[in-house]
Structure 1
């Protein structure tokens, strides 16, 4: 029974197309083929090929000369590199954060946005930049996941959404739990902290938390 390349998680379309074009009709057709030869195909990357080799090994098969899989972990570094996954949709834009805040739906959120612009500027010393249509970020950070997927994002930031205010980059830090415990009414999710309104939290603690995040090397939440 043949195994389609489509059924192997993490093997992208460029790799699948390259293998098909080179005459490899299914997973089993790669058994005994030289690893180095397949890796030379345009569109085939090392990480995808590792996944193919793992799928072969599950069937008692394998490519010739395949190296042991590299141990990978997520890496976060300050600054931007411009190396972004092709499908990454959120980028820095030229839109003015101040104008965006002034255009918010309600006077209440406009006031909140102005306040947060002031607090984040004071805590970071950096100028705000729009990321995508609704996020305001400070500083730049580059991430590379264990899968090899990478991109640029902001170090800390916020989004004054209609339902809740989203605060980014404040979790997973040495003092995050300590400061969040003193912050006031909020909800913590995987990638951000949600606040209904600034009146619900201690703004001095928020500023301390932002300053702490700004001074701490970037990392995943």
Structure 2
């Protein structure tokens, strides 16, 4: 399979043109080519080459003699820019969050209404639907070290059928302490999972949301 260079986020046209002129029109054609040789091409910069190497590694390939990538933190800013990775599927919609919750069945509808109340008190913000099932508060933009970027929400939730997903509540100065008092839950990289509201302390949840809301985006993930 051949991946066009323009499909790799964060690689500018000068770098793409220089690599193509050197006989490397596709990502996979860079496998085994010496890093220093490519970096010496006019128009090719270190950041763009790092992003290409990261994309190669995702496919089990690598340039020759490529250095380890430097640690770079993601950049987060409040507000939307409208700049999103081409393959980003989750976006803000015009669907009413309250209408979506009212259309849920049984306990999921009760849970959704309860969470709408709690998030509204904690943020003071109007909710917005993201994709078919996520309800978000606040608008932020992220840009990863790889160059991938997009718009998303600051904090939010999804009353899924299996369990409730809570977004953006980790990584604040007191989040570990509060999660220790929350009750029965599980965590992943960017989510806190709860089976049902009855399993947790809702006052602690509201405090977690408020703390995350008052923290700059990107500090909680």
TM-score if structure 1 supplies the norm length? 0.77
Q: Does 1:58 align with 2:65?
A: yes
Give 1:198's aligned residue: 197
Would the alpha carbon gap of residues 33 and 46 (structure 1) be closer, same or farther in structure 2, given more than 3 Å must change?
closer
Would the alpha carbon gap of residues 173 and 37 (structure 1) be closer, same or farther in structure 2, given more than 3 Å must change?
same
Give 2:121's aligned residue: 122
CA RMSD of aligned residues (A): 3.4
- Contact map agreement 1:156 1:213 (CA 8 A) in 2: yes
Give 1:103's aligned residue: 103
Mapped to 1, the partners of 2:89 and 2:208 lie a distance apart of: 28
Match of 2:8 among 12, 27, 49: 12
Shift of 1:188: 1.1
Shift of 1:71: 6.3
Mapped to 2, the partners of 1:201 and 1:31 lie a distance apart of: 54
Gaps of at least 5 residues in structure 1 are: 40-44, 60-68
- Contact map agreement 2:91 2:130 (CA 8 A) in 1: yes
Shift of 1:31: 7.4
Give 1 or 2 for the bigger CA radius of gyration: 1
Gaps of at least 5 residues in structure 2 are: 55-61
Shift of 1:148: 1.3
- Contact map agreement 1:184 1:200 (CA 8 A) in 2: yes
Shift of 1:154: 0.4
The 3-state SS of whatever aligns with 1:139 is strand
Mapped to 2, the partners of 1:136 and 1:165 lie a distance apart of: 12
Mapped to 2, the partners of 1:72 and 1:112 lie a distance apart of: 39
